[in-house]
A and B are shown apart, each in its own frame.
Chain A
Amino acid sequence: MAGVSVSEVAIQGLKKLLSEKEDLDDVAAGAKIEKLTLELQGQKSHSSDPAVQAITDGFTDFKINHFEKYPDFYNELAEGQSPKFLVFACSDSRVSPTFILNFKPGEAFMVRNIANLVPPFNQIRYSGVGAAIEYAVSVLGVENILVIGHSRCGGIKRLMELPGDGSVHFDFVDDWVQIGLPAKSKVVAQGVPADQQLEALEKEAVNLSLVNLQTYPYVKEKISEKKLALRGGYYNFVNGSFELWELKTCISPPIIIE
């Protein structure tokens, strides 16, 4: 049919609506129109950047195979989250806990940083980690904190090398990994053979983090109420194994001497 296309008719209708309706929320309408424009652009543009194309494909796969398959589950999640876990894992691209432990959306409040370190309580220096712990423990009420270390950790390697020979200069990384110095001292003091030191430190740093967690008042409180468990984990991707352990505190009953 000659003349006006379907989309042109639609645009005319929209223009009419916008000019006539006085009580229309302009900001909201503007946002909706912008969204539509982007959507239409997205449909016609196939990204030339393979990295961006990869995440486009990833999201499409998630939407079709997960979100749309379980609408009740995702609608409920959208109302609020109640994860049972607070997970600390390394930022390393090879160790996403979602991938290796199959955490579903809604299960784990997850913090990822270099060498999965938890610093001791310090509101000035470490407000980022503290905010995550405070939110997870006090607001969300998680029942478990799991700190997962891993093999071939670059952050732990840097910690082991500190202070280094000065050839490589890292301001922020060095400042961060020195949180693990007590663990390093312990490994060295124990006389662990040189070829086993990195793995020993990767695990010892997890335990140090578990101990540091107890310096946060709300963590301590929940532990004493038996509402919170602290666990450590170690993912070894060289031999394909996973270790899991628990840190328990117990104050034995007093011996009364009279």
Chain B
Amino acid sequence: MAILPSISVSLDLDPQRHTAVLLRTPTISTPFGLHRISVKPQKIFGFKMDSREIEQTRMRLSTNFNSSSTLTTKASREPSGLTQELDSKLQAVPESESGCDLFKDMKHRFLSFKKNKYMEHIEHYEKLAQSQAPKFMVIACADSRVCPSAILGFQPGEAFTVRNVANLVPPFESGPSETNAALEFAVNSLEVENVLVIGHSCCGGIRALMSMEEEGDSSSFIRNWVVVGKNAKASTKAVASNLSFDQQCKHCEKESINRSLLNLLTYPWIEERVRKGILSIHGGYYDFVDCTFEKWTLDYEESNLKEANGGISVKDQLFWC
């Protein structure tokens, strides 16, 4: 696991009372001079720590470990690893993706954000800190390649975002879940004007849905979740069973977006707003093989006419490439 970074201390976890360690970065005067990244000593779980205490504790731990030969023998299940760690004192030997590297990297990234974006637009961020008023609610996949901030350039304050496996929206009847909790907040409290469900190419979740057998291993979480998309799978099989498996998956990726759009309408407070014209529902599809993006909007009136066969009517289709 992660090697201890040089200025942190880990505490043995007391099963009764889980504690976390506050990592302190050294105080630095940054080019823009205003804020330190280090955190003032704070009371967290009853601990008050400052850096002197941390160093002392660390040295104590290190000494104790080395001097007690019994402990050395019994403690390490991996004999050389643990002793090596502490022997290296304040210098953690960086391996690729070691804890030390990760903390350093994250610190640089945050500082860069702070300098180039936060401080550059400080008034905007101060206003945002008071409240958010995003125009969009976005439901996207958790896939690492499809972050809506990256591909559609959403800035802080613009999009209330939910990300789950395969960007699925369960219907109202399925009961409470994290996705519809976010919907409720975004629509009823923040009063967003648009809901955008974004699917994407090569989706592992959709692939799992398409590969799933009817009677399968129900101890799998993935299975229990992607089954939300079973109607999309059924209609894909109905029209595209002659296509290759990859092509069927692609078809299902898009079909599932439309199913999610229809599922959105099963929420009374969403349907009401769509009917009144104060909320628009859109689907989007990001293809990261070709780098293209399609967008379409649910046509509410026309969709109602097709309700009998579960069809969906769309308008304002756009294709960007």
Tell me the A residues contacting B by CB distance below 8 Å.
Answer: 27-28, 35, 38-39, 41-42, 45, 47, 51-52, 54-63, 66-68, 74, 77-78, 81, 83-85, 91-96, 98-114, 117, 123-124, 126-136, 139, 143-144, 151-152, 154-155, 170-173, 175-177, 190, 200, 203-204, 207, 210-211, 223, 226-229, 232, 237-250, 252-253
Q: Is B37 an interface residue (CB 8 A)?
A: yes
Q: Kindly provide the distance from the CB of A126 to the nearest chain B CB, expressed in whole angstroms.
A: 8
CA A131 to CA B242, docked complex, whole Å: 30
Task: Check A253 against B110 for contact (C-beta < 8 Å).
Answer: no
Per the bound structure, the CA–CA distance linking A93 and B36 in Å amounts to 25
- In the bound complex, how far is the Cα of B158 from the Cα of A241, in angstroms? 21
Pick the residue among A131, A143, A173 that contacts B224 (CB under 8 A). A131
Residue of B nearest to A239 (CB): B35
CB–CB B162/A113 < 8 A: yes
Please tell me which one of the listed residues A59, A77, A130 contacts residue B145 in the complex, with CB atoms under 8 A apart: A77
A28 to B226, CA, bound (A): 27
Contact with A along B71-113 (1 / 0, CB 8 A): 1001100000000000000000000010100110011011011
Q: Is the CB of A81 within 8 A of B319?
A: no
Among A131, A177, A226, A238, point to the contact of B225 (Cβ < 8 A). A131
Instruction: Give the docked Cα–Cα distance between A135 and B193 (Å).
Output: 32
For chains A and B in complex, what number of residue pairs have CB atoms within 8 angstroms? 302
Residues of B within 8 A of A (CB): 1-2, 8, 10-13, 18, 20-23, 34-37, 39, 44-46, 71, 74-75, 97, 99, 102-103, 106-107, 109-110, 112-114, 117-119, 125, 128-129, 132, 134-136, 142-147, 149-165, 168, 176-186, 188-189, 193-194, 196, 201-202, 204-205, 219-222, 224-226, 240, 242-243, 247, 282, 288-289, 291, 293-295, 316-321
Indicate if the CB atoms of A51 and B188 lie closer than 8 Å.
Answer: no
- Collect the chain B residues with CB atoms within 8 Å of residue A175's CB: 176, 181
Q: A139-B204, A175-B181 known; A248 and B145 CB under 8 Å?
A: no
Q: Are A108 and B18 neighbours in the complex by a CB distance under 8 Å?
A: no
Question: In the docked arrangement, what's the CA distance between A240 and B165, Å?
Answer: 31
Taking CB atoms, residues of chain A closer than 8 Å to B113 are 99-102
Contact assessment for B177 and A128 in the assembled complex, using a CB-CB cutoff below 8 Å: yes
**Bound Cα distance from A27 to B164, whole angstroms:** 31
Cα–Cα distance between A144 and B20 once the two chains are bound (Å): 16
A-B interface, 10 closest residue pairs, ranked by CB to CB distance from nearest: A58-B153, A130-B221, A38-B319, A131-B225, A176-B181, A226-B1, A127-B224, A175-B176, A83-B144, A93-B134
Question: Bound complex: CA of A203 vs CA of B295, how far in Å?
Answer: 38
B46 touches A190 (CB 8 A): yes
CA distance A239 to B189 in the complex (A): 25
Q: Contact at A113–B181, with CB atoms within 8 Å?
A: yes
State the main secondary structure of chain B at its contact with A.
mixed
> Distance in Å from the Cβ of B29 to the closest Cβ of chain A?
15
Collect the chain B residues with CB atoms within 8 Å of residue A126's CB.
Answer: 177-178
Contact A99-B149, Cβ < 8 Å, known A92-B132, A253-B75: yes
Smallest Cβ-Cβ distance to A226: which chain B residue: B1
B residues in contact with A61, CB < 8 Å: 153
17 example contacts (A-B, Cβ-Cβ < 8 A) are as follows: A41-B319, A74-B291, A94-B129, A94-B157, A105-B146, A108-B147, A111-B163, A123-B219, A135-B205, A151-B129, A155-B185, A172-B176, A211-B18, A226-B1, A240-B119, A246-B99, A247-B18
Interfacial chain B residues near A143, Cβ < 8 Å: 97
A-B contact sample (8 more), CB < 8 A, given A42-B319, A98-B150, A113-B178: A78-B288, A78-B289, A105-B145, A109-B142, A127-B225, A131-B225, A135-B205, A223-B1
A131 x B320 contact (CB < 8 A): no
- Would A131 and B205 be within 8 Å (CB), given that A51-B194, A248-B13 are in contact? yes
**Cβ of A94: which chain B residues have Cβ within 8 Å of it?**
128-129, 132, 156-157
Residue from A85, A176, A243 within 8 A of B39 (CB atoms): A243
- B10 contacts A246, CB within 8 Å? yes
Instruction: Please give, as numbers and ranges, the residues of chain B lying within 8 Å of A211 by CB-CB distance.
Output: 18
Q: Residues of B contacting A74 with CB < 8 Å?
A: 288, 291
Contacts of A227 in B (CB 8 A): 1
Q: What residues on B are CB-neighbors of A245 within 8 Å?
A: 8, 20-23
B147 pairs with A59, CB closer than 8 A: no
| A109 in contact with B144 (CB, 8 Å) | yes
From B35, B136, B161, B188, A112 is in contact (CB under 8 Å) with: B161
Most B Cβ at <10 Å: residue of A55, A99, A248: A55
